[in-house]
């Protein structure tokens, strides 16, 4: 096995990322070393570089990736679903390792709220500390004991698996777990980034009669329409008045009553107040997009009470959501050309990729690693 690995490191907030080299350790018991093939660039990475989340530096970025098993540690013989693992197998993995001991892990079954030092690849593990290679923006990543490792389904290429990165399991949590989409429902999805589009796809798979995507810009909505993601598309850059957007959406619902389910996936605090207006009485809202703190926004709580609304927060994703994403890939690929969402960059162009994500110039930026 190669003894050195390149890695893209965030050393200072607000500064360009740096390409560094680290030794590749041998895997310990129940651990694995994976040769990264593709690594996704997420909106969270933009926030990390800007210093909007309290993470240690330096850190190898990359919390979504796929790759081939390079070496398996003692005792690690199967993935989490019982499939045998061998060197060379293509795998993906849950990006966090919960403690498995705290109240939220054991009693509430909400490991995303783990209070026991949850480890997150590419986010909260300093590259100064062993095993150093704890992020996916690198030639190799060291997967520690307790990692939910999944052998990729044969029907999906590595590019297709990474196309929804962490957006896929995030949507499984927010759309299928925190709210319930039923056959015949009208669903409004706010946001046309990866999380918003993944949410729209899962709403369609769940049987929604119509999915209305409220987002932009126009070129992104045009591609979304071409891929069959959503049935109606409303451009927020064309319809800039929130009241007019609400009116246009409600006209598409039964009796102008509003949507059965609203998924907020924008990251803009004001979108939450708009979601309350979109929802019908006794409707459901899943707030998925507020991962980083962009501040407060005024809402009218009377509407929540008067409309008897059910509002859920959705924070990240756990093992069942990630496994749900991987298991659903055959169904997703039957309906949607996921590969068209992706724009590829070499690992050495990580700064350009993150700049393009910040500017909204691409839908899903992916770092191509293994063929360099």
Longest dimension (CA), the chain: 65
Write down the domain spans for the chain: 4-164+317-368, 167-313
**Residue 291: what pLDDT?**
84
**DSSP annotation string for 252-315:** TSGGG--EEEEEE-S--THHHHHHHHHEEEEEEEEE-S--S--------HHHHHHTT-EEEE--
Identify the helix (H) or strand (E) that includes residue 104: helix 103-106
Q: Which fold has domain 4-164+317-368?
A: Quinone Oxidoreductase; Chain A, domain 1 (3.90.180)
- CATH class of the structural domain 167-313: alpha beta
pTM of the model: 0.94
Helices (H), 172-267: 194-205, 218-226, 242-250
**Tokens describing residue 349:** 């162009």
What is the per-residue pLDDT for 371? 65
Q: Which residues pair with 343 in a beta bridge?
A: 365
Q: pLDDT value at position 1?
A: 55
Which residues are paired to 109 by β-bridges? none
Residues 89, 68: contact at Cβ < 8 Å?
yes
Q: Which residue in this structure is represented by tokens 């409600």?
A: 250
pLDDT in tens, 100-159: 999 999 999 999 999 998 999 999 999 999 999 999 999 999 999 999 999 999 999 999
The low-confidence residues of the chain, meaning pLDDT below 50, are 372
How many CB atoms lie under 10 A from the CB of residue 74?
Answer: 10
Residue 292 has what pLDDT?
82
Residue 234 structure tokens: 């409303």
**CB contact at 8 A, 76 and 85:** yes
Looking at residue 19, its pLDDT comes to: 97
pLDDT of residue 3: 86
Decide the pairing of beta strands 4-10 and 32-41.
unpaired
Contact 200, 335 (CB under 8 A): no
Nearest to 144 by CA among 152, 161, 162, 132: 132
Q: Both tokens of residue 171?
A: 């949507």
Contact 289, 262 (CB under 8 A): no
């Amino acid at each position: 096995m190669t003894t050195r690995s390149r890695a893209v490191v965030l050393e200072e907030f607000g500064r360009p990322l740096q390409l560094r080299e680290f030794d590749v350790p041998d895997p310990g018991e129940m651990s694995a070393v994976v040769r990264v093939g593709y690594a996704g660039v997420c909106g969270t990475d933009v926030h990390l570089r800007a210093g909007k989340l309290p993470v240690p530096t330096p850190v190898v970025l990359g919390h979504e990736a796929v790759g081939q098993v390079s070496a398996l540690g003692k005792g690690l013989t199967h993935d989490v679903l019982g499939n045998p693992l061998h060197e060379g197998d293509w795998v993906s993995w849950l990006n966090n390792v919960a403690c498995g001991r705290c109240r939220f892990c054991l009693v509430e079954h909400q490991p995303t709220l783990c209070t026991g030092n949850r480890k997150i690849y590419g986010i909260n593990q300093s590259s100064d500390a062993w095993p150093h290679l704890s992020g996916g923006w690198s030639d190799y990543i060291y997967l520690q004991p307790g990692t939910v490792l999944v052998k990729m389904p044969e029907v999906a290429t590595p590019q297709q698996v990474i196309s929804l990165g962490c957006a896929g399991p995030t949507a499984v949590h927010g759309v299928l777990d925190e709210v319930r989409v039923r056959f015949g429902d009208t669903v409004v999805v706010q946001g046309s980034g990866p999380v918003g589009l993944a949410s729209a796809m899962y709403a369609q798979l769940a049987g929604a009669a119509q999915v209305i995507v409220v987002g932009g810009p126009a070129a992104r909505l045009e591609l979304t329409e071409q891929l069959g993601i959503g049935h109606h598309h409303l451009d927020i850059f064309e319809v800039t008045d929130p009241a007019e957007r609400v009116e246009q959406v409600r006209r598409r619902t039964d009796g102008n009553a509003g949507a059965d389910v609203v998924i907020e996936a924008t990251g803009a605090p004001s979108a939450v107040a708009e979601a309350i207006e979109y929802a019908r009485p006794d409707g459901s809202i899943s707030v998925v997009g507020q991962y980083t703190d962009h501040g407060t926004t005024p809402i009218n709580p009377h509407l929540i009470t008067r409309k008897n609304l059910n509002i859920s927060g959705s924070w990240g994703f756990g093992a069942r959501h990630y496994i749900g994403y991987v298991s659903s890939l055959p169904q997703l690929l039957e309906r949607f050309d996921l590969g068209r969402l992706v724009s590829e960059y070499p690992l050495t162009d990580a700064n350009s990729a993150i700049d393009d994500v910040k500017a909204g110039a691409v839908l899903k930026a992916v770092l191509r690693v293994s063929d360099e």
